[in-house]
Amino acid sequence: MTATLMIDIADEDETDALGRCLAEILPAGAVVALIGPLGAGKTRLVRSICSAAGVEDGVVASPTFVLVHEYECRLPICHFDAYRLRNEQEFQALGPDEYFSSDGWSFVEWADRVRDCLPAEYLKISIQPTGEQSRTLEFRAIGAAYMPLLDALKTLSKNESEGDRN
């Protein structure tokens, strides 16, 4: 069971606003799979979500060379990067199942490379650059547990952009 939502963002300020919205609605234990080319804004989105959740500014960085970062705020956050991994076994060696079954949030960049390692239900965010700073994000609820997030995100992102105009 899947459902999708498309959101266009014009710049990094809108990415930050979207991150604030996601930080409000992601449930404990959420797993978020991030997909997009180099420079698409995967880490930027995670940074925005983490900042809104209380992670100190300047702490969140791409885990490309470390493979996994952990952050503490109102709940634990685990940030994986599968870009440099050769196969799914290397990802499994990082212990994702322990994180996926916790009450914290798990973000997996380059999740398409480790798709079979993801849990049965998760939120998939595909980011496609459309300009220097503009992006189109496709949110896909994989499994029934994530479907309500799409409605909440649609409402919150609409309210956030209307608030910017007022």
The whole-model pTM stands at 0.89
How high is the pLDDT of residue 47? 92
Distance CA 118, CA 46 (A): 18
Render each residue's pLDDT in the chain as its tens digit; 166 residues: 668 999 999 999 999 999 999 999 999 999 999 999 999 999 999 999 999 998 877 767 766 666 788 888 888 999 999 998 889 999 999 889 999 999 999 999 999 999 999 999 999 999 999 999 999 999 999 999 999 999 888 887 665 555 544 4
In degrees and rounded to multiples of 5, residue 2 shows phi and psi of: -135, 155
How high is the pLDDT of residue 28? 93
How high is the pLDDT of residue 166? 42
Q: Which CATH class is domain 2-165?
A: alpha beta
How many CB atoms lie under 10 A from the CB of residue 66? 12
| 7 in Cβ contact with 157 (< 8 Å) | yes
Q: Can you read off the two tokens belonging to residue 85?
A: 């991994």
Distance CA 121, CA 1 (A): 9
Cβ-in-10-Å burial (0-12, 13-18, 19+) of 74 comes to exposed
Q: Can you read off the two tokens belonging to residue 59?
A: 């702490």
